[in-house]
Every structure is written in structure tokens, then in C-alpha cells.
Structure 1
Amino acid sequence: MNLMLPGDAHPTWCVCLVSNDYLGFSQHPKVKAAVIKGTEMFGTGSGASPAIGGHFVYHHQLEKKIAEFYKRTDAILYTTGYTANSATLQCLLHKEDIAIIDMAVHASVYEGCLTTNRKKFMHNDLAALELALKNAQHSYRTKMVIIDGVYSQDGDLAPLDQIAELTHRYGAYLVVDDAHGIGVVGDNGRGVIEMHDAFDQVDIITGTFSKALGNIGGYVIASPEIINYLKFQSKQHLFSTTATPAILGILKAIELVDEEPEWRVKLWKNINYLKSGLINLGFNVGTTASAVIPVKVGDIGKTLEAGRLLLKAGIYTNPIMFPAVAVKDARIRMNVMATHTTAHLDKVLEAFSDVDGQLHISNKYR
């Protein structure tokens, strides 16, 4: 995917590595056609919050479709993926409860836990998780372990099977945000939950439509009782105008995950090509196992300079630094898409090689 950036004199065409549109579905003709059809049928807006007339047939269809995607029956929609986390957790957890969270979860989870007790554990550290569960076992009304499926900065995966076993052993609920896993990870694109066949082991599934499904909005999938409670008690859902008819594109995108698996095959071909190329050049890509590939630099100054040089070479990436990651863990973060070509990725690798020659940021110089 090429992206043209405006400049003072001449626009620059860049290889885009900052988009979460992993399968390229925001540009898929069938998805676009579904969006156009929805707009022609229903207009450009929904006009009201769900409780006073803003819940239309297309909202109901999408709730059922995303729930069935994860072998469930009930879901609730939010206008953003961020809100799906923050609003749901604020609604379910209060001063008598505790959230036990992996320290690497998304900012929306941290916001959702502002009204409750909170205990962080080191990223993917099962011993630390068990200790937190033991300490909380008899002290709180509701105990909730909250993790990501795919983590957005390192691109690594949660050991979901082990976390689920620990969580339920100590009487807690398990919440999994698999925003970066849906459509990407798993034999059929059902994310980390599918990898571990944990459909019946996760109590609450959250995610977004703004990544592999190419639209916008968020969802929560849970038991009928929890979903019904959220629909009438979650203020951000109850008092927000519902999503526009353009979400009919999401219905088609969900279907395409199964109907056209070749996009996921192409994505993984690109992931493996870029990842192996970077490793062969001596770069540290950590433990990524997804479409998120970091090149870990460490030094903030060098990371910023690498981002500048890459952009100058026509490679649009994200330099990531504190507070998004630890002070000494700055990196260049990239998102791979199915729509990247081999020529795009070769250009990326060539640019990284040139930058390394100038800044000495690979393992060859350590």
C-alpha cells in the first residue's frame, strides 16, 4: 500500500506501515458496495441513541453476526473499540471489585478501571498473575482478569489457555480484548481464542471493527445476562447516537473472513517475509507472532532519527517511545497488510539496511 504525504514542495509517495487495515478490507469492492447500499437504504446517520429509536435492523444484524463469529449468541455495539473497553469495565466494576490486568493492555482498559480497584501484573507472567489472584480471592466481590489476545506494541500473544485455567481456578472472570487478532490470527481468523479453542473459556470478548474489518466501532460479546445489563446500564452505549448505516460494510467484511481466506494467507506471507528479512539483517523484532512487527532500538533519540530517515526514504512507520513503552524500549512499530506487495516490503528492508548503516541500531553493532 502506497500513501502520499503532503510536503512543502513535492508530495512523497510512501509505503504505509501505520495502518491497522490488515486484510485491506476498507478498500475491498464488496465492502464498499455494502456501505453504499446501506447509505442508499437508510441514509447517512442513525439519528438517535439506541434506547430512543436509534437501534435499527442493521445494528441487530451486526450484533448477531459478530456474536456468531465467536460461537456466541449475544453482543452489544459501541461507537468505538476504545469505548467498548472503557464503558463496559466502568459499568461492571466498582469499589467492591478488582481488575487484575496485564500491564501491557490498551489504554482503554486502564480508563475503564478508574472506578475500581486495580492490580497490574508483569506482561504474560503467569506466576505474577496467580499471586494476584490468590491475594484477591477472598477480598473482593467481583474479580476480573483482563488481557489482550494480541498485544499492540510487541505483537506477541497471550498464553490464553494457561491464563484461562488460572483465572477460573480462583473464581475470577476472564476478559480478552482481541482487537489485533480478529481476522489475522487463528486458522479461520477468530483470533487467539480460536488458537486455543477457548470459545467457552472466555467470559467477555471485546474488540473493534476498525482494524481487520475495515470500518469503525467496537463490540462486546458475553452471556445474554451481561449483554442485557450493559444495554441498559452502560451510559456510553445508552446515551450515544448509534453507528451509521455504513456498518453494513462490517457485515460483509465478517463474511469475507470466511469467503475469501486468501487475504489472510497473503497477509501471513507478507508477515513472514518482512519478519525474516529484518531478522536476517540483524534487527531485534522481539517475540511478535502477528501483523504487528516492532524493530526494537532502545535509544529514544536513535528511534526518532530512524523514523525520520525511513520517512525520507519513503517508508512511513511509527516511532514508539515512553510512555507507550518503557523508557529503554523505544522502537519502530510496523503493521503489515495483505495489500503490501513484495516490492513494497523489499523497499522497506532496503531502507532499514541503509538506516542501520548510519545509526548502528541492529544487533550487528551490539
Structure 2
Amino acid sequence: MSDLKTTLKPALDRRKRQSLYRYRRILESPQGPEIQIDGRQVLTFCSNDYLGLANHPQVRVAFEQGVQAYGVGSGAAHLVSGHSRAHHALEEALAEFVKRPCALLFSTGYMANLGLISTLLNRQDMIFEDRLNHASLLDGGKFAGAGFIRYRHRNYSDLAAALVTSRARRKLIATDGVFSMDGDLAPLTDLSIIAHRFNAWLMVDDAHGLGVLGEMGRGSLEHFGLGIDQVPILVGTLGKALGTFGAFVAGEEALIETLIQQARTYIYTTAPPAAVAAATLASLRLAQTESWRRDKLAQLIAQFRQGAADLGLQLLDSHTPIQPLVIGDSEKTLKISEALLTKGILITPIRPPTVPTGSARLRITLTAAHAPAQVERLLEALADIV
């Protein structure tokens, strides 16, 4: 057998030649519009901290108080001795926020999706997923061992055609609420009608809608005026608009109790630190009470889209904080990203396989912590480079 280096290095070299190699940058400051990374100060437009809460003073104080009350580590899984009062309070607050009877914390959105789908489905069942769903939803479908159909992006007619022929015991439709790489919204009203028509469950991963969309920031479902009867399964993450870490599933008590009893990614992992739950309670309150953050974000999105249009830049049709500028070629995208960095602006290039071949892009993200002048600076840099 050949050694690891001999076996693995050719594929790594090939990725470099194809401009697909990924690099990590070292962050040396808190999250914010301007960060210290790799030893230099840069203006960043690639964070998912949409409401600017990751370094909020109240959230930091809540985290510090959580450490004083519970220590740093949780010590065990939720079902052993790791489920603290802070965890429980956060689950109750999240359930109330999204208007559901119950919520259950998971360590990450990835683990929530894998655990949820594999608990609900087996080989007798079928899952139907949008082609541009997040990797965690796609991997959850594969992990479950159920039949797997991917329908064309946001194409509910294609979905309906697939459902017509299905004789599966259980049918689950899974979709992002806001698609993470394109920034557009799933047609949730149409999907809920189709789910009802074909006796299927509808599951929405609202990682990028929660906190951002809806009058109260309850996400994509509030935006479309949908409730638990139309969308019985809701997944949300805490590390984006809420600025902390983790994820949750919300729904009926029977769903949550089933996950507690059977979801392997919940049962067999250490609970997140209780201090994170305490910090999230603080950020959740801010997200609910400080609606100006969503208002400002909407204004910045409009400013950027108008400025891009004036420059003749073709953005995808997104009115969320995710504003993709598709370049197409991976090498060209990488060079534009590097040129922006020379001007002190960090936007990570997104290339295959994260996005389809030929659609490499700058995934530009805006946050409520940005200032209009910073958005203008970005537009000026794009005008010089793109």
C-alpha cells in the first residue's frame, strides 16, 4: 500500500491547478465589518453575522455570565448530564419565537439536518430536495438511506411530477428557506400546497432567513405567512443572524420527543456549552426588540443593488443579505477576490463543488453593522476591478 502523501498529493495539486484549492485565513479580532485577518485590517463582506450581533456588548456579557454560572464545557450529552437550565430556557424561547410548541437544540445545523432526516426516513421512504439545497440537507437525504429525488431549483411543477409517481410510505419535501449561495427564496406557499396535495411533510431549513425576514424576524415562514400546519418541520441556526453557535429543530411535541429518543446526532454528542445558550438568549431578545437592524439591512441591500446596477454588474435576483456576483470561471473569480484584497476588502471566492461548475462567484454578504460608506467603498472597488 502506498503512503498517504503519495496517494493524496496528486489530487491536491490538481485542485490548485484548477483554482479550486481552499485556504484558511486566521482571524485575529472579533467579528465585525472590519476585522484583523492574517495580520492586516480589512473590510469584510463575507460574514453571515447579518444583524451584527456576534460581538454585541450584551451578548458578550451574557456569555461571560454563563461561564461564571456553568463553566466552559457542558461535560456530557444532553441526555446524560449536559442539559443545563440555560439550554432549556433557550429551547423554550426559540419555540415561542417561531410559534411552535417545542424546540430542540443541536450542536450544528449540519447535525440537525442529518439527525432529523435519518430519524424520520428509512428505505421505505422518499425525500424530495431542491437541487440547490445546502450540503447538510443533501447529505441528510443520503444518510437516511431513503429514495432520493432532486427537483429543479424552485420548480414546484417538477416536484409535483416526481410526487405523482411516488408510492413511498413517507414522503418528505426538504428545502432551504433562503438558498445560501444564490440568496433567493424557496416558493414556500406553493411547496406547502403541493405537500398537502400529495400527503407529504414539508421541512424548511431557514438558516439564512431566521432573524432577517419577516416583521419580527421569524424568517421565511413569517415572510410568507405560513404556520405549523403548512410547514410542520422547521430548522434554524444560531450562528448566522443570531451571532452565536448551534442550531435547533422546532415543531410538534411528538416530533421533538422522537428526535430526543432516536436522533443519533443529538444522542451521541456532547451538548454545546451552556454559556453559548445564555449568549443566544441575549441575542434572540435583541433580534426581536431591535427591528431597526432589519430596516437598516434592507436599506443597505437596496443601496448595493442600485449601485451594482449603475455599474452594469449582473447580480442574481436576491433581496436578502446574500448578494452573489457570478463570474463563472474559477480562476478569474479567484483573481478578482485577490485584487479586492489588495484594496483591503475581503470577499471569499465561492467555487465548485460548493456551486455548480461554471458558476464560481463572489458571495457578497451585507450586515446591519455595515455603514453606507463602506458599501460605497465596495462598489468603487468593484468598479475598478470587475
TM superposition score normalised by structure 2: 0.89
The gaps in structure 1 that reach 5 residues or longer are 357-366
What is the letter of the counterpart of residue 296 of structure 1? V
> Does the residue aligned with 1:27 lie in a helix, a strand or coil?
coil
227, 235, 256: which one pairs with 2:264? 235
What do the CA deviations read for 1:194-243 (whole angstroms, capped 9, x no partner)? 01111231010001100000111110011111110100111111121111
What is the letter of the counterpart of residue 363 of structure 2? R
Q: Distance in 2 between matches of 1:225 and 1:271?
A: 40
Q: In structure 1, what is the equivalent of residue 366 of structure 2? A: 336
Q: Distance in 2 between matches of 1:72 and 1:81?
A: 18
Q: In structure 2, what is the equivalent of residue 363 of structure 1? A: none
Q: Residue 114 of structure 2 contacts residue 265 of structure 2 at CA under 8 Å; is this kept in 1? A: no
143, 158, 175: which one pairs with 2:171? 143
Q: In structure 1, what is the equivalent of residue 342 of structure 2? A: 312
Q: In structure 2, what is the equivalent of residue 214 of structure 1? A: 243
> Does the residue aligned with 1:63 lie in a helix, a strand or coil?
helix
240, 245, 265: which one pairs with 2:295? 265
> Does the residue aligned with 1:243 lie in a helix, a strand or coil?
coil
> Does the residue aligned with 2:54 lie in a helix, a strand or coil?
helix
Aligned residues: 350
What is the letter of the counterpart of residue 58 of structure 1? A
1:55 Cα offset (Å): 1.2
1:301 Cα offset (Å): 2.2
What is the letter of the counterpart of residue 321 of structure 2? A
Q: In structure 2, what is the equivalent of residue 104 of structure 1? A: 132
Q: Residue 238 of structure 2 contacts residue 280 of structure 2 at CA under 8 Å; is this kept in 1? A: yes
1:274 Cα offset (Å): 1.3
Q: Distance in 2 between matches of 1:154 and 1:67?
A: 28
TM superposition score normalised by structure 1: 0.93
Q: Distance in 2 between matches of 1:311 and 1:135?
A: 51
Q: Residue 70 of structure 1 contacts residue 199 of structure 1 at CA under 8 Å; is this kept in 2? A: no
Listed as ranges, the matches of 1:267-282 within 5 Å are 267-282=297-312
What is the letter of the counterpart of residue 165 of structure 2? N
Q: Distance in 1 between matches of 2:374 and 2:353?
A: 30
Q: Residue 104 of structure 2 contacts residue 250 of structure 2 at CA under 8 Å; is this kept in 1? A: yes
What do the CA deviations read for 1:145-174 (whole angstroms, capped 9, x no partner)? 000110001100111111100111100000
52, 56, 79: which one pairs with 1:28? 56
1:2 to 2:30 alignment: no
Superposition CA RMSD, Å: 1.1
1:5 Cα offset (Å): 2.5
Where do 4+ consecutive residues of structure 1 move more than 3 Å?
none
Listed as ranges, the matches of 1:320-331 within 5 Å are 320-331=350-361
Q: In structure 2, what is the equivalent of residue 13 of structure 1? A: 41
Q: Distance in 2 between matches of 1:279 and 1:177?
A: 30
1:187 to 2:215 alignment: yes
Q: Distance in 1 between matches of 2:107 and 2:294?
A: 26
Q: Distance in 1 between matches of 2:263 and 2:374?
A: 44
Q: Residue 283 of structure 1 contacts residue 296 of structure 1 at CA under 8 Å; is this kept in 2? A: no
Q: Distance in 2 between matches of 1:72 and 1:27?
A: 29
What is the letter of the counterpart of residue 128 of structure 1? D
Q: Distance in 2 between matches of 1:289 and 1:67?
A: 27
Q: In structure 1, what is the equivalent of residue 20 of structure 2? A: none
